[in-house]
A and B are shown apart, each in its own frame.
Chain A
């Protein structure tokens, strides 16, 4: 079965840039989405189709996808961005989520 691997944790200082990677076999041939989940809350879509932001998502969230790796970048990270982040893609007709990354804003 298809797997998506993320680093367990990423730490970032306020105002700096956080990059979260998502690795999977030929992931660049697929589209990746990213979800943000804060403690006790349902996930929220922050990026779809590799790099597009839904309405209401701040411009500091951006994405890219090439080769075997998709990347979510948070520029000018704010304390409110502290959360778990999950990538997601499709293996044919089956949805697959990444292992998740906890972003800590120090």
Chain B
């Protein structure tokens, strides 16, 4: 049974960089799409992007200029950075495992516990 544990700073100042990391335990790291999803307080889910075990990335177009994802296969970890944050980036950030069941039809079958990141001075 795979488990995903995430951590990172819960308070970030405006214009600075948000950084979060997820570690994967108990399952294979290769063959999946490691995904970041966020949820502003009281609002819906937003897909941010994904990275595979080889480091290939796809980002949401509207966030692409500020987002970087990376992977450390030696530790089964993957990370998210969002630069130049504003209050609009305040959200619970989730990492999740994406499983492709055919032709980039991907569902998210394991999720981290979520990290609330608040952007405030």
Report A's interface with B, CB cutoff 8 A: 1, 31, 33, 35, 37, 42-45, 48-49, 54, 86, 88, 90, 93-100
Contacts and interface: CB of A to CB of B under 8 A. Distances in A.
Contacts of A48: 101, 107
A97 B45 contact: yes
B47 A94 contact: yes
20 contacts: A1-B62, A31-B105, A33-B107, A33-B108, A35-B45, A42-B112, A42-B114, A48-B101, A48-B107, A49-B107, A54-B109, A88-B45, A90-B104, A93-B58, A93-B104, A95-B37, A95-B47, A95-B106, A97-B44, A100-B45
B77 interface: no
A21 to B, nearest CB: 15
Q: How many interface residues does chain B have, given as a range? A: 20 to 34
Interface of B: 35, 37, 44-47, 50, 58, 60-62, 94, 101, 104-109, 111-114
